[in-house]
């Protein structure tokens, strides 16, 4: 994935690009996570070739339902008082810059695994939804 992104951006150096990837792949310091989540992110590989040329905005949610990789549904509600997901307050969604994220906050990977590196240090910002649900699968 990182090689493809580096190849694509090298082919169009004069263009800005919006590339959407799962939060795990856009972390500034994914390789600093605990063992279960430790992964050198696409962002880290990209920064090796193009230093300081990318920004990551995580998409997070406090509660709702989502799909596992095998497409089975699960419900979640993050109640951790230190979770950045709770910072949405009463709003349907909130955008916070890294400067607005408390130093001691945490985020939840797939809503069930607590991350160990603060989102303040992983992303330039967090887009936080109060509640989410997967799209409805339609058959033709």
**Predicted pLDDT of residue 118:** 92
C-alpha angle with apex 18: 50 to 28, nearest 5 degrees? 50
Tally DSSP H helices, then E strands, for the chain: 4, 6
Please state, in angstroms and rounded to a whole number, the distance separating the CA atoms of residues 104 and 43: 23
Tens of pLDDT, residue by residue over 74-111, are: 999 999 999 999 998 888 999 999 999 999 999 998 88
Q: Which residues of the chain have pLDDT under 50?
A: none
Q: What is the mean pLDDT of the chain?
A: 89
Angle between helices 42-49 and 2-11 in degrees, nearest 10: 40
**Predicted pLDDT of residue 37:** 67
Give Cα 135 distance to the centre of its chain.
19
């Amino acid at each position: 994935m990182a090689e493809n992104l580096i190849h694509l951006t090298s082919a169009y150096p004069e263009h800005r690009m919006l590339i959407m990837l799962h939060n795990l792949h856009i972390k500034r310091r994914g390789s600093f996570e605990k063992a279960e989540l430790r992964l050198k992110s696409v962002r880290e590989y990209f920064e090796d070739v193009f230093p300081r040329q990318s920004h990551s905005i995580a998409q997070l949610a406090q509660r709702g339902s989502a799909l596992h990789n095998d497409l089975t549904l699960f419900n979640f509600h993050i109640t951790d008082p230190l979770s950045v997901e709770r910072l949405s307050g009463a709003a349907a969604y909130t955008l916070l810059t890294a400067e607005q994220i408390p130093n001691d906050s945490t985020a939840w990977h797939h809503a069930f695994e607590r991350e160990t590196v603060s989102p303040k240090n992983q992303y330039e910002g967090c887009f936080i939804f109060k509640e989410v649900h997967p799209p409805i699968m339609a058959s033709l």
